[in-house]
Every structure is written in C-alpha cells, then in structure tokens.
Amino acid sequence: MATQEEITLGNYEITLLVSPETQEMDVQKLVAKLQNQIAQKGGRIFSTDMWGKQRLAYPIGKFEFGFYTTLVFSYPTTEIAELTRDIKLIPEVIRYMTLSLEKEGVTPETLKRVDPFKEAPISERTVHATTESRPVRTRTRATAPAPEAPKASEKDEATRMKELEEKLGKLLEE
C-alpha cells in the first residue's frame, strides 16, 4: 500500500448532468456523497457550483431539462478512473464530463468561474468578420487572454471590396 507521500494528486473538474426527475434535495445529497468520496481518498474540493435545473441544448433521451453541477477538486491520479466509474453507475446521472486541469494547463486557483447559462457581458463578446457581423459569445475557463484574430489593413479591405464590386458587375452583365 502506498504511503501518503507517494500518492500523486491531480487537479480535475467534473461536470454532472442529473435527471430532471430527481428532486433538487436529492441532487444535493448526490453531490455531498461525491464530495465525501473525494475527501475519503485524500482529495480536496476547491469549488462546487450547482447551476440548478436548466434546459438542455438538445434532448437527451426523453429529457429536455437537467440539473447541472460542476466540481473542481484534487484527487489521487491512480484513483480517478474508479471515481468516474462510480459516477457512471449512478442512475440519476444522465451525462458527465471529467477534465484533467493539468492537461488543460490550468490550476484551480486561476480557473475563471463562469455561469454558462447567463448572458456574457458585451465587453466579453467578440465580433467575427463575416458577411453579416454578429456578436458571438465566448466562454473560456482559463484566465489566459484569447488569441486575437489578424486585422486586415484598410488598403487590403478597400482592394478586396473593389475586386468584389468588379466581379459583381461582371456577373450582372451576363
């Protein structure tokens, strides 16, 4: 058996989607049970976010709603497969996703907590250059700045527009 010094802890994030047929109190009990299981193996809970009952992006089976919960924690790397297996066996859990924060290059302290079900402020939106400019919501978990799209100079834009007008004129003549 490995001693406490030999156990390597990894940082993880698990997002659970629980059946809407489950009572909210039972969802809280399920999360508490997972938190106890993590603590018993020597893990540490950094944050627990319960988003509540939300509409799903698409139906999963017969469900159009579900309870979302996200746990950020440290856990022994040798035991994470067993934890995810245990989650898979919980009948109320419709879907789950486990992320290794080390693989994503993020630490729990630098994780940006975002409510994915609320509208992002205008300052956090980006506009992509298309034929129709429309705001697109961005959702990032890390605090690292997103890479900026290359900016076209005014001369390049003017040249491109002139070429488009010429092509359009030729098409209209035909």
- 3-class secondary structure per residue, the chain: CCCHHHCCEEEEEEEEEECCCCCHHHHHHHHHHHHHHHHHCCCEEEEEEEEEEEEEEEEECCEEEEEEEEEEEEEECCCHHHHHHHHHCCCCEEEEEEEEHHHHCCCHHHCCCCCCCCCCCHHHCEEECCCCCEEECCCCCCCCCCCCCCCCCHHHHHHHHHHHHHHHHHHHHC
Q: Is residue 150 part of a domain?
A: no
pLDDT digits (tens, 9 = 90+) for 39-95: 998 899 998 989 889 999 899 989 999 999 999 999 998 899 999 999 999 999 999
Q: Is residue 156 part of a domain?
A: no
102 confidence band (pLDDT: 50, 70, 90): confident
Q: Is residue 142 part of a domain?
A: no
Q: Is residue 18 part of a domain?
A: yes
Q: Which amino acid is at 147?
A: P
Q: Is residue 172 part of a domain?
A: no
SS3 82: helix
Which CATH number belongs to the domain containing residue 46 in this structure?
Answer: 3.30.70.60
Q: Is residue 141 part of a domain?
A: no
128 confidence band (pLDDT: 50, 70, 90): very low
- 43 class by beta-carbon count within 10 Å (0-12 exposed, 13-18 middle, 19+ buried): buried
* Residue percentage of the chain with pLDDT more than 90: 40
pLDDT given at position 19: 94
pLDDT digits (tens, 9 = 90+) for 136-151: 454 545 555 555 555 5
pLDDT given at position 163: 82
Q: How many domains does the chain have?
A: 1
Domain that holds residue 57: 4-114
- Judged by average pLDDT, the poorest of 7-11, 32-36, 63-67 is 7-11
pLDDT given at position 103: 84
pLDDT given at position 125: 42
- Judged by average pLDDT, the poorest of 36-50, 107-121, 159-173 is 107-121
Q: Is residue 58 part of a domain?
A: yes
What does pTM read for this prediction?
Answer: 0.60
